[in-house]
Structures are given as C-alpha cells and as structure tokens.
Structure 1
Amino acid sequence: MCLKSKTLPGHFPHFETSNKHLSHCSPPPSSAMVTHYSLDNAISSFFESMTSATRQQCDDFALGHTGGQPSPVQIQGTFSYTVAVGATKILQFRVLDPSLDMHVMSLAKAVHPQFVASCKYHGTIGRSRPVHIYEMENLPGAAYIIARSISTIQSADAVSPAAQHCERPSEVRVYHTMMSTFQAGADHACSFFAQSWNSRRRLDLDNMATLQAEFESKCDVLTRSLPPRFTSNLHGVRQSPPSLFSETFPFVLNHGDLCEMNILIGRETGNITGIVDWAEARILPFGFALWGLENILGCMDSTGWHYYDNRRELEDRLWRAFRTGLTMRRRATCSSSEVRGWRACSGGMGL
C-alpha cells in the first residue's frame, strides 16, 4: 500500500492511502514509511515542483529568525516544507493554495487554548511561486494513530470479542492500547468539544440558509450515488438540516478533519496534548466534528468495522465528561441539543 501525505499546520502530516484509509486495526505506519517514504525525495520534490524558493533560502530564514539550526520533521507534507528548531518551535513554508487562514487559527487558539498551537505569519520567500512562512509551537505528544501502538501484547485470555476480530498479534496490541489510551484521554476529548459548545458563534440567516443548502445537496448526491442499503440512513440524515441550521441550535468552530493523525497524545499518559490541521475548520452546527470520536470507539480490519464491546460505556463516559466541561450557563441548554447533534453525527457515520 503506497502512502502519500497531505500537508497540515503542525508537525504531523495527514496520511492518506492510495486505496483506502489507514485501517484502525493495522500496524502503525512506521514500518510502511521505511519502505515507501523517503524524506530527502519528499523535500526535493516539493522544491522542484511547488515553488521558486529554495531549501537553502528557507533554512537560512529559519536560522536567522530563530538563531537555531533547523531540522526537517520526519514526514513532510505535499504542499509544505517543515522544520523543527529546537524543542519548542516549528517553521513551515507553505505554497499559496493551501496557505493557512490566520483568522481561523486565531479563533481555534481562542476556543481551545491548551490544544492549539500559537501561529504567526512571517510573509513569503520566492517570487513567481512563493512560499508562505508560518511559525508555530512544537506541540508535545505523538499522533494518536502512532501512539496507540505502544502497549505490550496481551495474553489470549485478556482479549475481548471485539479485539478477536483483529487479524494479527500486533492488532490485538493496538486494540488494548486504544482502550487504555482512550480511557485516559476521554476527559480531554470531551473538554475539547465542551469548549466549542461554550464558545458559540453567530451566523446570519442568509449564511445559515446557504450552509443548509450545501449539506442538503451533499446528501442528495450520496442518495443518488450509494447502493440502496444506505437509503434509510441517508433519509434520516437528510431530515436533520432544518433543525440544525437554525437560530436555536449552537453554531461552533468545527475541526474539518479530526482523524487519528491530527490528534496528538502523550505516550505515557494518554492525555490529548494537541489538535492540529485546522485548514478545513468551519463555523457549522455543533456535532459536525463528533465523527472523530467514532474513530476511537472501534477498529477496522479486512472483514469490516467492529465497535469495541464497551463502546456504550465509553460513550456514557464521554458525555459525562462533556457536561462537566460546560459552563453553568451552557449546561442547562445541552440536554436535548447534544442528542440531536450526536444523532446527526452518528447517522452520517452509519452510512
């Protein structure tokens, strides 16, 4: 399986696969990277095809701006060149098309102060095809998809029915790591969503109507394109927009790609240490990013998707942590709305 990467505004590129998304029960991508990924080739390709700026110009800027020797991060994005300077700074040189929206980054930092890296813009290098320069905190932790694979292999007696769906010993190890890691970070995960709920945004009726039409159109495309077995779920999702895109439901900043590569966790504690890749973030009804939680409630292997046998227990724990993280003023409003948001999300995940 050949890996390719998509840039993100942090130090962990978001992996995509040429055939399908990385399996939840597959081994961590490190072994595949050794075979299929070359750091030098990735850097050379970026400067040869994406920009008129040179690597030397970028390295010189990093050295002159910070006083420290730049070191390329292990995995580079397709549309950027990223270097670490010491343990605290990241400098990223991005081509024009995927350049970061600094307003969104500032809003994300304001809503989620402990999860989002601060970001500064430093202009451009290059003339005809310049790169845009961003300076960010080097957030601690490792991408969830990598960090979840560090537990020891459990005995056969300890393997639950859900874990038995996984096909190799390493997959059983991943299962148990995911359980312990998810439980350790559940409070952090839901405090992240509680922060969004507490920091509602305002949209005028015209913008709401435009967004509603956009998502109804997407549902219609899916209805025409997917096999009939999905019709029932699509019909349920299609009924949600009128209640979600209204003045009575909270609009919040939603992360657009809350996958396992964009959630950073501490290897020892399991606590969430950062959320990266805000390039696709938008103001939308609460719940449009909740699908990210589904990714850590189960695993995928060659036979399909399998929820863990304690999935409901974990969901209950999540919602308790979510309500605990709400301000008193917001807590009184969440009981019915959170269910609608969760159901809208779950309906989409069930496709």
Structure 2
Amino acid sequence: MADREEWKRQERQFIDRFFQEKVPEALGNEAASLCTEDTCIRYAQALFNTDDIAAVNNQGSNSFTLQTPSTIIQFRLTPLKTDILALANEIYGDLVPKVNLHDGFLLPVYSSKVISGQIHLFQPFPEEFPLEREKTTVTELGLFIAKAAFFEQPKACVKSDSWTSTAPELLYRLVQNNSLKIYAPELFDVVRRLQHKVYLLESLPRVLTHHDFSQVNILVNDTGNITGVIDFDEAGIEAFGMCIWGLYECFFGSMEAGKWSFYHEMPVLANAFWGSLWANTPPSLKREEAQTAIKVSLGIGVLNRYFIHGMVDKIDLSKKVHRLSLEYARGILPRIWE
C-alpha cells in the first residue's frame, strides 16, 4: 500500500512545480501571474457553480486537476489529443472518460464525469494477500488489453519516435552500453536476445497503446473489477503488447526499500492474466504463432519504461533514479524470458 503522507508531499510538489515553473514556461511570466492555483479553483467554482471542489490526489506533472462530487476538471499546458481520446472511447466505451473542452481561460480546460472506484495504488492491502481480488483485476486487464487488437490501426499511424519504430536503435545502443554489461549482465544477455528477435514486431498488429499503463491510471472497485482507465492523452500506436509491462510492475510484484521482488502469488496472477488475454484476442492473433513476438513487444515496453534519464548509453549508480530503474528492469525482464 502506498505511503499516503509521502504521496501527499509528492502531489504538493507536482502542483507547486506546475504553477511556479511550467505555467510561466508555457504562457510567459506576465500571463502566468494571472494563472495561479487560486484562479484555477475560482474558475472551476464559477464554471460548475459549486464551492465543493478540491485537488485530486493523483496529479500529473503537466496538468492541474480538480474534482467536484460529480466532475473532474483539468487545466493543461497543452490541448488534449482528441483523435487518441476518440479512439480510446471507441474501443473501451465508458471505461475511458469522455472529455469536454471549456473556453475562456488562459490554459486549455477540460471536464469529465467522475469514475467510480479508486486508483489501484490506493487499494488497501491486508496482511493476507487478497488473491481473489487481484486475480479479478488482472483477468479484466487481460481482456482490456486484448480488446485493442480488434481495432488494428494502419502501420502508417505509427510515429517515427514511437517505441516500435525506435526499438532496433534502442537495442543497438543498449548493446554498446558497457555499464549495463558490468552492472547487470543477466539483463544485458536478454537485451542481446531481444536484438536478434526484434524483427518479430513486424508480425504484430498496431494498436492503441497506453504508455503509462500503471496502477496510478487504473481504477478499481472493492472487489477488484476495473471501473476505468485514465490519462490516455500520451497514448500512441504501437505493436500489440507493449503496455503489458504495467502488469509486471504494478500487479505481479513490488519495490520495497529499493529492492524489487515478485509476489509469492505471481505465478497464479500471471496465469490468470495471460489466460484472459489469449482467450480474448482476435482469431487472427494465435497464441502459438504470436507468443514470442508479444514477449519481444513486452520486452521493448519494459526497456522504454526503465531506461530513462540517459541510462540507455550509460548507467550511473550514484543517481537514485538510475539505481531504482535498473532494479526494476533486472527484476522483471529476465523473468519474462526464462
């Protein structure tokens, strides 16, 4: 379970950085002086004619989000990608909130209905692992991910900077990374294996892919059923399977005191997830033909998730973010390729 006090401090930092640094960068200092936390709150109060409004406890780094009992209001640095959101709504229906644009403010402002449930990160974890509840969640996530394969997108929609397009270059650079070979030889070996199989990505359908498919963006109810998935704005078109890293990071294990480990119940949860995914993919995506390719796609997703802040070319263990990211990657990726 998340440390709520630490989480609150982090959320406050997100809000302060948004108004003190990012808004001035986006609007300029003069306009930014008119766009403060207080003016956003007052605009939202007037827009929805209510004083019952507060900041949500799951702020993003590039927005400021408020909530009334029935409505989410988000102030963004840049407009939402309406084409991506429309596709997400087409595929997933009410599981992805529909948004409305509101004029008359310095920043783009959007609203949507409140989704029931809470983000998975805040699900209480009793002393005894809630296996049935978590099985329900991962089973429904298997269905959720599989559904995108019924809405295959043209390969021309894949951007040049996508995880799919840049996969060969990413693997090449990682193979040249001597620090990776020294600090995590078992991970380096998997990278070499991926490099030899990256061509298999061509065999997979291109689908809408949530690049941050983590427990802060997945809402559940008390019994583990999925009630919504948020923050699709940064999603893109990728080879099927690249978002599955989120299951391994958030549902199959956890990081405690800087050390990654899988739950004892991980085999049961993984079997439930993969069984659900394969039971719900289109007939054209056969397990015996696509399984290895999807493992490659999953591997590319893992590498993009954790090799950040210069780690692709050099790992610096004096940096906390490098240490933690490497711990995630070396804990998760070799297990996928056992």
Q: Name the TM-score, length of structure 1 as normaliser.
A: 0.71
* Residues 70, 94 of structure 1: alpha-carbon distance in 2 compared, 3 angstrom cutoff: farther
| 2:243 alignment partner AA | A
* Residues 70, 289 of structure 1: alpha-carbon distance in 2 compared, 3 angstrom cutoff: same
State the match for 1:256 in structure 2.
211
State the match for 1:132 in structure 2.
108
* Identity %, equivalent residues: 19
State the match for 2:27 in structure 1.
none
112, 118, 126: which is aligned to 2:92?
Answer: 112
* Residues 81, 298 of structure 1: alpha-carbon distance in 2 compared, 3 angstrom cutoff: closer
Matched residue SS, 1:258 = coil
How far off is 1:46 after superposition? 3.8
Matched residue SS, 2:255 = strand
State the match for 1:289 in structure 2.
243
CA contact (8 A) 1:72 1:83 kept: yes
Which ranges of structure 1 fall in alignment gaps of 5 or more residues?
Answer: 1-26, 155-175
| 1:31 alignment partner AA | E
Q: Is it true that 1:85 corresponds to 2:68 in the alignment?
A: yes
Matched residue SS, 1:204 = helix
Structure 1, 48-57 or 251-260: larger mean CA deviation = 48-57
Deviation track 1:187-241 (CA, whole Å, cap 9, x = no partner) reads 3111111111111111239968986552211122222334220321011222233
* Residues 210, 48 of structure 1: alpha-carbon distance in 2 compared, 3 angstrom cutoff: closer
Matched residue SS, 1:62 = helix
66, 89, 106: which is aligned to 2:48?
Answer: 66
**Where in structure 2 are the equivalents of 1:231-250 lying within 5 Å?**
231-244=188-201, 246=202, 248-250=203-205
| 1:81 alignment partner AA | F
339, 342, 345: which is aligned to 2:295?
Answer: 342
Q: Is it true that 1:197 corresponds to 2:173 in the alignment?
A: no
Which ranges of structure 2 fall in alignment gaps of 5 or more residues?
Answer: 25-31, 303-331
CA contact (8 A) 1:212 1:241 kept: no
How far off is 1:302 after superposition? 4.0
CA contact (8 A) 2:158 2:165 kept: no
Q: Is it true that 1:319 corresponds to 2:274 in the alignment?
A: yes
State the match for 2:6 in structure 1.
32
**Where in structure 2 are the equivalents of 1:131-170 lying within 5 Å?**
131-147=107-123, 150-154=124-128
* Residues 258, 213 of structure 1: alpha-carbon distance in 2 compared, 3 angstrom cutoff: closer
CA contact (8 A) 2:84 2:232 kept: yes
How far off is 1:341 after superposition? 0.5
Deviation track 1:145-193 (CA, whole Å, cap 9, x = no partner) reads 211xx24324xxxxxxxxxxxxxxxxxxxxx14x343212133111111
How far off is 1:68 after superposition? 2.9
**Where in structure 2 are the equivalents of 1:215-234 lying within 5 Å?**
215-225=167-177, 226-228=179-181, 229=185, 230-234=187-191
Distance 1:211 1:37 in 2: 28
Distance 1:343 1:241 in 2: 6
State the match for 1:3 in structure 2.
none
| 1:146 alignment partner AA | F
* Residues 240, 138 of structure 1: alpha-carbon distance in 2 compared, 3 angstrom cutoff: farther
How far off is 1:256 after superposition? 0.3
State the match for 2:224 in structure 1.
270
Number of matched pairs: 286
More strand per residue: 1 or 2? 1
CA contact (8 A) 2:242 2:299 kept: no
Matched residue SS, 2:208 = strand
The alignment yields a C-alpha RMSD, in angstroms, of 2.9
CA contact (8 A) 1:237 1:344 kept: no
CA contact (8 A) 1:323 1:331 kept: no
CA contact (8 A) 1:298 1:305 kept: yes
Q: Name the TM-score, length of structure 2 as normaliser.
A: 0.74
How far off is 1:257 after superposition? 0.9
Distance 1:239 1:278 in 2: 32
How far off is 1:121 after superposition? 2.0
CA contact (8 A) 2:56 2:65 kept: no
* Residues 58, 233 of structure 1: alpha-carbon distance in 2 compared, 3 angstrom cutoff: same
State the match for 2:234 in structure 1.
280
Distance 1:184 1:212 in 2: 30
More helix per residue: 1 or 2? 2
* Residues 303, 56 of structure 1: alpha-carbon distance in 2 compared, 3 angstrom cutoff: closer
